[in-house]
Every structure is written in structure tokens, then in C-alpha cells.
Structure 1
Amino acid sequence: MDTEEAHLTERHLRRKDAAKYVTDTYNVPCSPKTLAKLACVSSEGPPFRLAGRFPLYPVSGLDAWAQRKIGPLVRSTSELRVA
């Protein structure tokens, strides 16, 4: 199976379920409305595919996006100025 086939067989979530997945998995606040706004006005949101008019978010894309939103691991708040 090549990479394109793997991406197509990967689990995809509708916007409401994608927001719940990010919130439940990473404790990063996320709402369907935020995902909708990011899809319209920003390139900073998670990647998605359209199935007709419905956005479908691959779980791997949600994972990568949520991990980028979480700051680096630090031992002290003074390290935040350096990181």
C-alpha cells in the first residue's frame, strides 16, 4: 500500500468529532467553531479533506496540529524565555 492509499484508509473525523478528539486526547481546548474559522481564514489549522461539503480531518493531522499547539517541555518558567 502506497502513502496515498494509506492516507485514504486512515480514520477521518467530522468537525464536531475532531474537536472532541483534540480536547479529550490532548487537553487542548478546541471547538468545532474554531476549526471552522481556521479552515476559512487561516493556514494554521489542522489539515482536512472535503467529502462534498463536509470537512473530514485525518487523525494523524489532528495529532500533529495539537502537538504543535502544545509548548516545549521545560523544567522551569525561566526556560520559556529561551525556548
Structure 2
Amino acid sequence: MTTSVGIREFRAGLADFITAAEPVAVTRHGVTVGWFIPTPVDRDAQVASLRSAAALLDTVLAEQGVDTDEVVAEFATARRDA
């Protein structure tokens, strides 16, 4: 299970979250507003971390029933209309 913290708690404990190994969901009023994914300094570890984050994101999106093709299409439309 992914750790979830409020934005105030996240700001207060940022130093601890930076040194952590797992991604953290940052919430505001109980709604996830972003993800913090700590990245190790080692290049190979960075690539592995990004792959791990991508896999976690895929899992979360699938659990929520999000169709990534629809998200991309909506983004393209919003960008075009901006």
C-alpha cells in the first residue's frame, strides 16, 4: 500500500520523504493532488526508480479505471483550445 500524507505533513517532513525509498501520495482535504517520488543519486537506481514509479502509476490508474488514451486525448484538446 502506498503512503498517503496531507500536504502540511508532507511539507513538515520533506527531509524524511526525500530520503525514503517509496513514493508518497500527497493529499489535500483527503484528495490526492500529487505524488512525490524520491530519486536516488545513482543513475541505474534512477532508471529503476522511474520504472518502479511508472509501474505504480499504471497500477493506480488501472485501479481507478482511468483510460490513459482518454487522458492523452483530453490533454491534447485542452492544450489546443488554450
What TM-score comes out, normalization by structure 2 length?
0.26
Higher relative contact order (CA 8 A, sep 6+): 1
Structure with greater proportional strand content = 2
**TM, length-normalised to structure 1:** 0.26
Higher helix share: 2
